[in-house]
Amino acid sequence: MRRILFAFAVAAATLAAIAGPTAAQPPGNWTLVNEDGFRHYACKQKLKAGGWGLKTATRYNKSAPRDVGVYAALARGSNRNLAAERTSNNRENGWIRLFIRGARQPDRLWMQAAAYGPAAPWSDGFAVRRIVRCASVA
């Protein structure tokens, strides 16, 4: 019985390592912002001019149509006050990347597949203050 349990534990750990979320995670420690068939990640970096720059990376599903990209919105205080919006379907090595300047800590970031209508980015968004800082490259 112990051998069966041990074999099952080893098989489960192996499958988790192969198919786990780290396999789809961008390099470094990024924050998972949203999942909607794609996995949307972000990290922030302090800008010299003030505020934050948000790096985003979306791991797309290889079976998704080529014209389906990513929509990202930065909302400030309400759904109607968008500080920035970006869309892209430029795919490179399994990722779609965007960069958004001028974020503030109370702002909210919303990311989704650009296949369906606009979201309510303040109500649904992820607080910038909760997004991890991008790792420094030495």
* Tens of each residue's pLDDT in the chain, 138 residues: 544 433 444 344 433 333 334 455 576 789 999 998 899 999 999 999 889 999 999 998 777 788 889 999 999 999 999 999 999 999 988 899 999 999 999 999 999 998 877 788 888 899 999 999 998 654
pTM summary value: 0.77
Residue identified by tokens 């990513």 is 70
Domain ranges (residues) in the chain: 24-130
> What distance, in Å, lies between the first and last C-alpha atoms of the chain?
50
Burial 91-108 (b: 16+ CB within 10 A, else e): beeebbbbebebbeeebb
Query: Which of 2.60.40, 2.40.50, 2.160.20, 2.70.98 is the CATH number of 24-130?
Result: 2.60.40
For the beta carbon of residue 40, count every other beta carbon within 10 angstroms: 27
The backbone torsions φ and ψ at residue 22, rounded to the nearest 5 degrees and listed phi first, read -70, -25
In the prediction, which pLDDT does 62 show? 76
